[in-house]
């Protein structure tokens, strides 16, 4: 799943880089000016969604079962954001390209029709794939093994007993009650200052 999220993040970023909209505007100094707008200009939230998908891919391997539900919800939200922003551009390309025309010409009026490249449609599909991947992720999240607890500290009975007995409990307060079977527990006992033998 991590690979799927990283690929979706990369695809989301890549489809926002090319030119999405092309039109013309008029300027008093330059005459007719061709204005091209990339996906990052007309739908900047798509690039933000790519970063969110990348972060979700990193988080997916670190969190437990409950956290995976949250990651799935975040992935669904990022995919939905890509779908919505692409749909807004496709629904009103004139409105989406107008700020770029004003920036290039100083006038908000378009001099020609807006040509829409196929990239907004590709972004729509990639966003829908993100939503589908989120559903699949939530469905299979329970079958993955839990993250390892290898480096977590373990509280043993002798730790609880020595913590509750206070400072005046004597020299035997930190001793291990019985033989230590586990090699790791023996090293932990040595780290605490106990003699596991």
**Helical residues (DSSP H) of the chain, grouped into ranges:** 2-16, 39-42, 44-60, 65-91, 93-105, 119-140, 157-165, 183-192
Sheet containing 115-116: give its strands across.
Answer: 31-38, 19-27, 115-116
Which H or E run includes 22? strand 19-27
Query: Is the Cα torsion angle 76, 77, 78, 84 positive or negative in sign?
Result: positive
Can you give the pLDDT at residue 116?
93
Q: What's the CA gap between 97 and 108, in Å, rounded?
A: 10
Angle between helices 44-60 and 65-91 (to 10 degrees): 160
Q: What's the CA gap between 119 and 37, in Å, rounded?
A: 12
Contact 46, 85 (CB under 8 A): yes
Contact 194, 174 (CB under 8 A): yes
Residue with tokens 């939530």, as numbered in its chain: 138
Spans of all domains in the chain = 2-143, 157-192
Can you give the pLDDT at residue 16?
95
Can you give the pLDDT at residue 157?
54
Can you give the pLDDT at residue 125?
96
Can you give the pLDDT at residue 102?
87
Q: How many CA atoms lie within 13 A of 79 on its CB side?
A: 22
pLDDT along the chain (197 residues), means of 10: 88 95 84 88 94 91 83 94 95 90 82 91 96 89 67 56 46 48 79 79
């Amino acid at each position: 799943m991590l690979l799927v999220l990283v690929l979706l993040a990369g695809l989301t970023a890549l489809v926002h880089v090319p030119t999405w909209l092309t039109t013309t505007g008029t300027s008093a100094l330059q005459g007719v000016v061709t204005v091209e707008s990339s996906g990052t200009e007309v739908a900047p939230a798509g690039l933000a969604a790519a970063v969110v998908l990348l972060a979700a891919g990193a988080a997916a391997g670190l969190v437990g079962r409950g956290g995976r539900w949250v990651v799935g919800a975040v992935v669904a939200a990022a995919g939905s954001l890509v779908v919505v922003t692409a749909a807004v551009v496709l629904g009103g390309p004139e409105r989406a390209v107008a700020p770029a025309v004003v920036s290039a010409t100083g006038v908000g009026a378009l001099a020609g029709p807006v040509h829409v490249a196929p990239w907004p449609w590709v972004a729509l599909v990639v966003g829908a794939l993100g939503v589908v991947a989120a559903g699949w992720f939530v469905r299979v999240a329970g079958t993955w093994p839990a993250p390892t607890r290898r480096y977590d500290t373990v509280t043993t009975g002798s730790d609880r007993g020595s913590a509750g007995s206070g400072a005046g409990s004597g020299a035997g307060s930190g001793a291990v009650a019985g033989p230590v079977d586990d090699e790791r527990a023996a090293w932990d006992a040595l780290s605490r200052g106990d003699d596991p033998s």
